[in-house]
Amino acid sequence: MKHILDNTKIKSPLESHSVLNPKAGNSKRSLVSALILTSLVDAFSILVIYLLVTTTGGNEQVKISGKVNLPTAATSDLAGQSLTIRIQNKQFSIDDKVLNLNQVMDYLLAQTNSKDAAKSILIEADKSMSFETLSPVLMAAGKAGFVKVQFAVMQEGS
Amino acid sequence: MSNGKKTLDFEINLLPVISILAVCIAFLLLTAVWVQIGKMEVTQAYGTSGKNNGQQITLYITLKGNNLYRMTVKTETGQALLDSQIKTAAKSEEFAQNINSIKKKFPEMQTALLQPFAETSYDEMIQVMDAVRGQEIKDIGVAPL
């Protein structure tokens, strides 16, 4: 009784890399099934193109602290780089430096006098914060001459 | 009989291509931005849009707390054209429809001013701004305490 392996050809990796025609003249069936890699390459290419477009969409990235729970809004515009004032636990910080209200005011006044002045302020605050904490910042921004104030929000659906 | 013909087929080894693509995908997955940060812009000194016979019309929304809002429409001279109250969540359809009906009555109105109380939460203020912007009222201001 013939064993199935007697009628089956088992390719060696070295043999399959042979440039010349591998050993011919055998009628044995091959156990190796060829994997069609073309569709896998297509799928990977599409994934790469999609991720490239998502990553380099031309949008400026805004750094937001992970501890701050931003409110959500449906009609917001995309945020760009601007002077960010973070309000957390009733403390104000700019560029990760904790400042009191007078220092925030001085910083904003210095900004308006500098050549590379930011045109607007972006306020990053937790959604549970009360308005009485935010109000002094708005007044300071107004006194420093910042007409436009932006509030950082999470875009609904993102 | 031996076959002396050489094949002209050229076999491309796809394994390195797949490896490169897999590395690219892994890198881009790590660097992709999945969450977009938005902004809601307010103007400290609101503008001059929405003229009605030479008078600017402004919607004043007082955030009284407990989902109670007072809506007042005034001209530049302080004449009140409308005064109403509504008790509903800022994110609700009823609130949006209320603003929509005010906007329909005064189609030239492009300015709104929010007057929150001290206890008003930041989230509630943003929700009201969102609802107002959704009704095509673009110039929004927030009155400090």
pLDDT in tens, A7-39: 555 656 555 554 455 555 555 555 566 777 888
pLDDT average, residue stretch B16-27: 91
Angle B63-B93-B124 (CA atoms, 0-180°, nearest 5)?
30
According to DSSP, the β-strands at B55-65 and B68-75 are antiparallel
Residue A52 at interface with chain B, using a CB cutoff of 8 Å: yes
Give the chain A residue nearest B131 (alpha carbons): A75
What confidence score (pLDDT) does residue B47 get?
Answer: 46
ipTM passes above 0.90: no
How many helices (H) and strands (E) would you count in chain B?
3, 7
The DSSP bridge partners found for residue B69 are: B63, B86
pLDDT level of residue B48 (50, 70, 90 thresholds):
very low
Q: Which of B114, B131, B115 is nearest to A72 (CA)?
A: B131
Work out how many CB contacts closer than 8 A connect A with B: 166
Return the top range by mean pLDDT from A15-29, A63-77, B93-107: B93-107
Give the chain B residue nearest A37 (alpha carbons): B14
pLDDT average, residue stretch B54-67: 85
Residue B22 at interface with chain A, using a CB cutoff of 8 Å: yes
pLDDT of B56 above 50: yes
The structure tokens 């609130």 sit at B95
Backbone angles phi and psi of B62, in degrees to 5: -100, 125
Q: What percent of chain B has pLDDT over 70?
A: 90
Distance from CA of A82 to the nearest CA of B (A): 11
Report the Cα B99 to chain-centroid distance in Å: 16
Residue A106 at interface with chain B, using a CB cutoff of 8 Å: no
Give the type of residue at B118. Answer: A
Distance from CA of B73 to the nearest CA of A (A): 23
pLDDT level of residue B14 (50, 70, 90 thresholds):
confident
Give the chain A residue nearest B145 (alpha carbons): A135
User: Are A130 and B119 an interchain contact pair (Cβ–Cβ within 8 Å)?
Assistant: yes
Predicted confidence (pLDDT) per residue in B107-137, tens digit: 888 899 999 999 999 999 999 999 999 888 8
What confidence score (pLDDT) does residue B52 get?
Answer: 47
The structure tokens 């992970």 sit at A66
Distance from CA of B92 to the nearest CA of A (A): 13
More confident residue, B6 or A4: B6
Backbone angles phi and psi of A49, in degrees to 5: -65, -45
Residue B10, helix vs strand vs coil: coil
Rounded distance, CA B65 to CA B144, Å?
A: 16
Instruction: Give kind and range of the element (H or E) at residue A26.
Output: none
pTM (two decimals): 0.71
What confidence score (pLDDT) does residue B45 get?
Answer: 57
According to DSSP, the β-strands at B80-87 and B68-75 are antiparallel
Tokens of A42: 């297509």
What confidence score (pLDDT) does residue A59 get?
Answer: 54
Residue B6: its chain A contacts at CB < 8 A? 20-21
Task: Report the range of poorest mean pLDDT among A11-20, B71-80, B90-99.
Answer: A11-20
What confidence score (pLDDT) does residue B114 get?
Answer: 92
Give the Å distances, CA to CA, from A65 to A124, A131, B110.
9, 20, 34
